[in-house]
Amino acid sequence: MTHTGMLPNRRHMLGGAAATAVTLAAPAIVRAQGGALKVGVLLPRSGFEAGIGQDCQRGVDVAPAILKSLGLPDLAVMDGDTESSVDVARARAEKMIGEGAQLLVGAFDSGQSTAIAQVAEQKGIPFVINIAAAPDITEQGYKFVFRNFPTAAMILGDAFANQKEVFAIAGAAPKTVVFMHVNDTFGAAMSKGIGAVMPKFNMPYSILEEIAYDPAARDLSVEVAKAKATGAEALLVVSRLNDAMLLTRELVKQRWSPQAILSVGPGWYEDQYIKTLGKLADGPLSFVPWYDPNKKLSQVLEAALAKAYPGVNLNTNQVFTFEALLVAADAYKRAGSSDPKALADAIRTTNITDNVSIGPGIQFNAKGQNDKVKNGAIQNRGGKLLTLAPKEAANAKPEWPMKSYQDRG
């Protein structure tokens, strides 16, 4: 006796499996259409870039209320730590996508962002870069990678233009500089960019020597001694946070107060730099992607940050991390779906004019790059960050030359 008729055959099995899949998938589809978009935010929350990663996180923390006030949909943020490592960034991106992230944001660092971009493109999940300047990331023909941050060449072009503007207002300029830079993906890209871009700007100074140093260095005494020995009038620097503090300590200990510190990167305007070094933090000029203090949304973001983190200055980290989430929420609203392709298409047609950063707003070109975002020139003074250039965003005049470290009491 056989029971063939009673047993499920292959067709029944396939039908049952399909029905089960549809039943299981249905809630997910409903969630995707009506619920919050799952955004994986990958930042260096630990390791040598932890200070900056945590500063970026502040931009994430204040975003929900502001996005809601703008009538944008909710985002379900998933926190991820790249541990300041390229390999970990890649692994965490894969894990986050596996856990259901529908869009990725991050990762502050060019090397880590490059790794995440490869994963995002491979998996077909949109990735909005908050901060990363290596030009190659948006030169790969990627369809799911977008960057609302200038490339190294754009930063440098604006930096040199802003420097000339500051020199003109101050009525003084250094004739010589020594160029110190961190020896990582970002630092190397900036070094290469300086060589290519600087000749076009007819700068008043020449670079006497270029000194590259280890990004994880714990002592920069030799590097500063070498820089001081060049006799340069000013220091041109591309750094991170920890090394900016180490450099400042060595400048003080080796009794070298250059006419100006011209930073073309992070570190010198960070909150932790200012809090740790106090009076010694005053003076450096940073030529970096910045916010326009006169824009309405900048004032909203500044107020939200002041409320959530009293005493913390609004800076690049929070601004561009917030704007990355703004792009995500705006695209999700317009796409009306969490389908990765629909989201990517919506991001590609972004046109946000009510934004925070300097420039006409957020739009992406065919390569996924916002090529209209602009730099600002800022100076640390009395624990605050004052905007010196461009003229339309300025709220102070430069203090020149920088006050000697030995005269600060």
Partner 1 sequence: MPFDVYLNVAVSGVLTGLVYGLMALGLSVIFGVVRVVNFAHGEMMSIAMYLAVVLFAGLHLDPLIMLLPISAVLFVFGYILQVRLINPFITRPEYTQFLLLVALAIIIVNTLLIIFGPDARTIQTSYAYDSFQLGSLILDAPKLYAGAAAIVFAAALFVFFRFSLIGKAIRACADNYTGALVVGLDVKHLYALTFALGAACVGAAGVMMTLIVDVTPTIGPTYTLLAFVIVITGGLGSMPGALIGGVLIGLTEALAGLLFTPSAKSMFAFGILVLVLLFRPQGILGKRAT
Please report, as ranges, the residues that interact with partner 1 according to CB under 8 A: 46-48, 50-51, 83, 183, 211-214, 217-223, 225-226, 228-229, 242, 249, 252-255, 276, 280
- Least CB distance from residue 286 to partner 1, whole Å? 22
Q: Is 260 left (phi over 0), alpha (psi -120 to 50) or beta?
A: beta
Nearer to partner 1 (CB atom), residue 47 or residue 401? 47
- Least CB distance from residue 63 to partner 1, whole Å? 24
Cis peptide before 401 (omega within 30 of 0): yes
Show Cβ contacts of residue 396 under 8 Å, excluding neighbours closer than 6 positions: 379, 381, 386, 387, 388
- Least CB distance from residue 89 to partner 1, whole Å? 15
Nearer to partner 1 (CB atom), residue 123 or residue 249? 249
Nearer to partner 1 (CB atom), residue 47 or residue 100? 47
β-sheet bridge partners, residue 153? none
Nearer to partner 1 (CB atom), residue 226 or residue 381? 226
Helix/strand/coil for 165: helix
Show Cβ contacts of residue 273 under 8 Å, excluding neighbours closer than 6 positions: 241, 244, 245, 248, 267, 281
Distance CA 409, CA 405 (A): 8
Query: What pairing do the DSSP bridges indicate for beta strands 103-106 and 176-182?
Result: unpaired
- Least CB distance from residue 400 to partner 1, whole Å? 24
Nearer to partner 1 (CB atom), residue 227 or residue 314? 227
Cis peptide before 107 (omega within 30 of 0): yes
DSSP secondary structure of 356-393? SBSSS-B---TTSB-TT--EEEEEEETTEEEEEESGGG
Nearer to partner 1 (CB atom), residue 93 or residue 251? 251
Nearer to partner 1 (CB atom), residue 25 or residue 229? 229
Nearer to partner 1 (CB atom), residue 236 or residue 301? 236
- Least CB distance from residue 261 to partner 1, whole Å? 16
| Of 375, 322, 379, residue with least CA distance to 352 | 322
- Least CB distance from residue 357 to partner 1, whole Å? 28
Show Cβ contacts of residue 236 under 8 Å, excluding neighbours closer than 6 positions: 177, 178, 179, 180, 194, 207, 262, 264
- Least CB distance from residue 216 to partner 1, whole Å? 9
Give alpha helix (H) positions in 47-147. 50-69, 86-98, 110-123
Q: Angle 86-98/110-123 helices, nearest 10 degrees?
A: 30
- Least CB distance from residue 224 to partner 1, whole Å? 10
Nearer to partner 1 (CB atom), residue 48 or residue 322? 48
- Least CB distance from residue 225 to partner 1, whole Å? 5
β-sheet bridge partners, residue 308? none
Show Cβ contacts of residue 252 under 8 Å, excluding neighbours closer than 6 positions: 280, 405
